[in-house]
Structure 1
Amino acid sequence: MAVLWLVLLAGLPVFFLGVLVWAVLEHFRTAQVPRVLQHRAKVRFLHCMLLYTMAVGNILEKLRICSMPRFLRFLQDRVTIKNNREVVVTDLRFGTIPVRLFRPKATSSSLRRGILFYHGGGSMFGSLDSYHNLCSFLARETDSVLLSVGYRKAPEHHSPVAVTDCLNASIYFLKTLEAYGVDPSRVVACGESFGGGIVAAITQTLVGRTDLPQIRAQVLIYPFTQAINLQLPSYQQKSNVPFLSLQLMLTCMCSYLAIDVSWKDAMLKGACIPRDFWDKHRKWLSSDNLPKRFRSKDQQPETLAPFNEAAYLETKHILDVDNVPLIAEDKIIAQLPEAFLVTCEVDIVRDDSLLYKKRLEDQGVRVTWYHVEDGFHGCLLLFDKMVLSFPCSLNIMNAVV
């Protein structure tokens, strides 16, 4: 038995080294690292580490030890939480929903701005801890009271749980603003990636609520706003860029919406979209609505595969407005608060954000747009990671502030 344990212990380093070699080879086989990115060697290193940890997580999942997303969240939460002496941090629960409150320590003679923050992670990753430093920085630099919401995630929980958790926590906060020293006329909703999509969904849901303070502005940082047209130029051009490939995005999407991954191909080709639905919403979903600079002459035309009723029945909730803020009615869009929108050039969901920008502007909503030519999806989370940070990370953070 002792010999067996020795063999197992000796074999573990070899096993993990083998997984690492696979991750490096997979990166160079599939990943596209555009020249526009700064510090491309750093991008390659971080992407190899992501592939490595996901591979180990998938192995643990197959061994029924823990799911891959849970393993990655465990590693994410090992991040060093910086003790910011200028910010008071309090962990709370609004019912069953964990939230974290960030308040500037300095006294204020007047009520402060409030920020509702919804973190990213594709509905599967991210946590209060992994976004702690970002939220603390944001609260300090803007002299605001910030509430970060720890919503439930896939694969344990599916749509609409994440949005519902954030909505319920937001309503509770909005009803008790003065208890936290927040000015009811200066509440901003802010979200990154999947959290940006939550901002869009919640601000739409709260339109017309007279019993709550109105959201003053929305900050959308490379948000997800649709999962219907997966043939937009950015999906064609950026399908294999770090750190959000098309396959990873589809995995997150299917997990959150409880769609079997066998329907991925039908979703990509549009076989699950009824023709009457496409005809009605094409004016909002088509690449025709993108600025010319983001349309390439080499891109393939958007064509829907023959309609597959079985695929539609299995995936039809991707067409629900609750999951697609982009297709909300004009009368809802027109009542939304002004927006600050961040897009990154090296980002598969770049065009989703640009389509939402046009929808807002067409209905008279003021939009301040910040486009980052050397930015990539998820870069904001690296803004304070020292040698692992990028100029675009800090630039976006400063722009948001």
Structure 2
Amino acid sequence: MSGPLDTIPVGVQRAVLRGLLGLPAPVRRLLAGPPVRRDGQTLAVPAQLVLRARHLGGARGLAAATPALARAAMLRDNRVVGGPPPPGVHVRALAVAGASASLPARLYWPAGLARPAPLVVFYHGGGWVVGDLDSHDHLCRFLARQAGVAVLAPHYRRAPEHPFPAAVTDALATHAFAVRQAGALGVDPRRIALAGDSAGGNLAVVTALRSRAEPGPRPVFLLLFYPAVDATRRRRSRELFAEGFLLTSRDMDWFMDHYQPDPAARADPALSVLLADDLSGLPPTYLATAGFDPLRDEDEAFAARLAEQGVPVVLRRHPDLIHGFANLFGLGGPFRDAVVEAAGALRAGLVLGASPADASPAGAPADQRAAGQ
């Protein structure tokens, strides 16, 4: 991964990691070390092996001495775990008209998808500081093919060069572009979903909240992987999983200090969406959390608030996984299974969805917890 292993070619690192994950279960268990149990959960052996490999390589979290170094490390790590790009998806470069400049973007179109197609606007994660079109390219390809949808991914402006609310402005501009240019893109403006992981999930929720006041079709579904939803409070999961599970508490401080340096301003609901006065009117939502994630408890509090305000929501905790599991899907096993499940929810949400202006009242909320999974 990162650190001392930088001298080893990425292809060799990838082959070694995949070889470890392909060993018989007893051997993997031996190499991973004793089971990691916390808060009534047991970490999946593949996740433990990934973390062990990162630890041996000198990586402790996602932050670095500078944003440039952290961005390079994320790209390198993703090449190690990613493997070849999922086939059967055509990718086209686009430019989205932003508030101050054009934003680079990509349109992913799976083979055989008929027009007008359902569309997912996917906002990449990375603490609003790292991550880009390349870091989440494979995930966007996989979601497009697995869910049978087009995916539009923007490269929004990142902090610290462009602190809050620049990323929000660009997220809103991308959704407006998708609606406005639906015909040219070949998509159905009445079947547009928003999705994202971590910081990208935050941007998806903010965009959905803002769209309630805009004319025209609104998003019909939200797909959220472990979104950041509250920058004002440290919950129990942040203390339980503060160190050693990819995203650390120190990382979270580092990201937030770049994105919104003023602690007094972090309660803004355009950042801490959990604190928004009114969440009603948001589209049906599938929210995936990881058991060993500092963000877990704020995410589950957010799902509870959605349900309380009449938003149909499925909360899916993967109790044995870590933050960032969506980018690990290329390693197979529980990582891939979790993303396949999310893609299935996305497909169903878009098949059943219609523009809120045309839809009947939402049904009762659903809540799928970790128990018995």
Q: Is the 8 A contact 2:88 2:111 kept in 1?
A: yes
Change (3 A) 1:209 1:397: same
Q: Does 1:44 align with 2:51?
A: yes
Partner of 1:315: 263
- Determine helix, strand or coil for the equivalent of 2:330: coil
Change (3 A) 1:50 1:165: farther
Alignment of 1:290-305 (within 5 A): none
- Determine helix, strand or coil for the equivalent of 1:248: helix
- AA partner of residue 324 (structure 1): S
Q: Is the 8 A contact 2:75 2:135 kept in 1?
A: no
Partner of 2:254: 251
Q: Is the 8 A contact 1:57 1:71 kept in 2?
A: no
How many Å separate the matches in 1 of 2:241 and 2:284? 29
- AA partner of residue 55 (structure 2): C
The alpha carbon displacement at 1:187 in A equals 0.9
Which protein has the larger Cα radius of gyration, Structure 1 or Structure 2? 1
- AA partner of residue 91 (structure 2): V
How many Å separate the matches in 1 of 2:85 and 2:64? 30
The alpha carbon displacement at 1:74 in A equals 5.2
- Determine helix, strand or coil for the equivalent of 1:384: helix
Partner of 1:324: 272
Per-residue CA distance 1:255-281 (angstroms, 9 max, x = gap):
111x2xxxxxxxxxxxxxxxxxxxxxx
Q: Is the 8 A contact 2:121 2:193 kept in 1?
A: yes
Q: Does 1:128 align with 2:159?
A: no
The alpha carbon displacement at 1:127 in A equals 1.3
Alignment of 1:201-350 (within 5 A): 201-210=206-215, 212-230=216-234, 232-257=235-260, 259=261, 314-330=262-278, 333-350=279-296
Q: Percent identity?
A: 28
Partner of 1:375: 321
User: Which structure would you say has the larger RCO, counting Cα contacts within 8 Å and 6 or more residues apart?
Assistant: 2
Per-residue CA distance 1:11-69 (angstroms, 9 max, x = gap):
xx9x989xxxxxxxxxxxxxx875711226513324326744879953xx5xxxx8433
Alignment counterpart, residue 101 of structure 1, candidates 99, 103, 107:
107
Partner of 2:340: 398
Change (3 A) 1:56 1:218: closer
How many Å separate the matches in 1 of 2:92 and 2:171? 18
Change (3 A) 1:49 1:206: farther
- Determine helix, strand or coil for the equivalent of 2:159: coil
How many Å separate the matches in 2 of 1:359 and 1:396? 23
- AA partner of residue 191 (structure 2): R
Alignment counterpart, residue 91 of structure 1, candidates 90, 93, 98:
93
The alpha carbon displacement at 1:111 in A equals 2.1
Q: Is the 8 A contact 2:60 2:246 kept in 1?
A: no
Per-residue CA distance 1:154-194 (angstroms, 9 max, x = gap):
23221111121121122111111122221222111011111
How many Å separate the matches in 2 of 1:56 and 1:130? 16
How many Å separate the matches in 1 of 2:57 and 2:175? 32
Q: Is the 8 A contact 2:110 2:144 kept in 1?
A: yes
How many Å separate the matches in 2 of 1:106 and 1:16? 42
Q: Is the 8 A contact 1:43 1:242 kept in 2?
A: no
How many Å separate the matches in 2 of 1:139 and 1:107? 10
Change (3 A) 1:115 1:49: farther
- AA partner of residue 163 (structure 2): H
- AA partner of residue 92 (structure 1): L
The alpha carbon displacement at 1:70 in A equals 3.8
Number of residue pairs matched?
306
- Determine helix, strand or coil for the equivalent of 1:163: helix
How many Å separate the matches in 2 of 1:341 and 1:56? 25
How many Å separate the matches in 2 of 1:124 and 1:150? 11
- AA partner of residue 357 (structure 1): A
Alignment counterpart, residue 120 of structure 2, candidates 115, 121, 139:
115
Alignment of 1:159-178 (within 5 A): 159-178=164-183
Partner of 2:73: 72
Q: What RMSD, in angstroms, separates the aligned Cα atoms of the two structures?
A: 2.8
The alpha carbon displacement at 1:73 in A equals 4.7
Q: Is the 8 A contact 2:61 2:248 kept in 1?
A: no
How many Å separate the matches in 2 of 1:242 and 1:55? 10
How many Å separate the matches in 2 of 1:55 and 1:122? 9
Partner of 1:139: 144
Which is further off, 366-375 or 232-241?
A: 232-241
Q: TM-score when scaled to structure 1?
A: 0.70
- AA partner of residue 44 (structure 2): Q
How many Å separate the matches in 2 of 1:93 and 1:68? 26
How many Å separate the matches in 1 of 2:56 and 2:208? 36
Gap regions ≥5 residues in structure 2? 9-35, 344-373
The alpha carbon displacement at 1:139 in A equals 0.7
How many Å separate the matches in 2 of 1:384 and 1:169? 27
Q: Is the 8 A contact 2:156 2:170 kept in 1?
A: yes
Q: Is the 8 A contact 1:234 1:351 kept in 2?
A: yes
How many Å separate the matches in 2 of 1:395 and 1:120? 20
Q: Is the 8 A contact 2:61 2:246 kept in 1?
A: no
